[in-house]
Amino acid sequence: MRAYLTLHEPATSRNWYARGLWRDQTFYALLAAHVAARPDAQAARDGSRSVSWLKLQLWVDAVAEDLAEQGLTAGDRVSFWMSNKLEALVMFLACARNGYACNPSLHRTYTCAEIGGLLDRLSARAFMTEPGWGADRAKGKLETVLADVSSLRKVYEPFFCQAERLNIIRSCYTINDETWGILTNNRCLTHRLR
């Protein structure tokens, strides 16, 4: 596991644990506990969708497995540049599951060139964004910028996939009449398919 730059002080940490401010559970462990207790209850929602605890865990597991298949190991950096969508939560929890350093703080006001510089500086191994996001996305040539980030192994972009594109799905499962899958091309994130 790679070392993180930190101001960690063991005595302070022990005090926070003793006071109950810190706990031993990871975010992924908390997710798993909710799945065991209430799998069909609503876990999260964004502006247009919601997801149950069980569906969220399956989605997180698929993304975490895809990240691992790209060669990411504990301590690797994963960044995202997007709005508050369910995909952002999924990526955060996938990072928690696999021990990746999650960087969700790339702000919309950054330009594509600034994003490229930040990703390069962080040595980000995976990156998630959404179409049109950013100060100059329409003219900023993000794909060209990302090609120059030597550490980057995978770019994810959430999207709605029509049924006729099912031929690119590597694996797929159905829960409560909703189909979810993980896509194999370099631009797609695990997503619900209608």
Q: Residue 177: inside a domain, yes or no?
A: yes
What is d(CA 60, CA 63) in angstroms, rounded to the nearest whole number?
5
Pick the closest to residue 153 from 69, 81, 91 (CA basis). 69
Structure token pair of residue 50: 């919601």
Cα 83 from chain centroid (whole Å) = 12
Question: pLDDT digit string (tens) for 68-108?
Answer: 999 999 999 999 999 998 999 999 999 999 999 999 989 99
What's the confidence (pLDDT) of residue 131? 87
Q: DSSP for 74-97, please give it.
A: TT-EEEEE--S-HHHHHHHHHHHH
Contact 78, 111 (CB under 8 A): no
Q: Residue 176: inside a domain, yes or no?
A: yes
Which one has a higher pLDDT value, 27 or 168? 27
For the cut 80, the answer to whether the pLDDT of residue 1 exceeds it is no
Bridge-partner residues for 179, per DSSP? Answer: 174, 193
Least confident of 73-82, 108-117, 129-138, 174-183: 174-183
CATH code for position 118: 3.40.50.980
Query: What single letter denotes the amino acid at residue 106?
Result: L
Q: Residue 48: inside a domain, yes or no?
A: no
Q: Can you tell me which residue has the tokens 């995202």?
A: 80
Which one has a higher pLDDT value, 179 or 128? 128
- Structural domains in the chain (count): 1
Query: What single letter denotes the amino acid at residue 143?
Result: E
For 153, residues 6+ apart whose C-beta sits below 8 A from its C-beta are 70, 71, 72, 125, 126
Q: Can you tell me which residue has the tokens 């490229």?
A: 116
CB count, 10 Å around CB of 122? 17
Structural domain that includes position 162? 62-193
Q: Residue 123: inside a domain, yes or no?
A: yes
Pick the closest to residue 173 from 57, 46, 33 (CA basis). 57
% of the chain with per-residue pLDDT over 70: 78
Q: Residue 78: inside a domain, yes or no?
A: yes
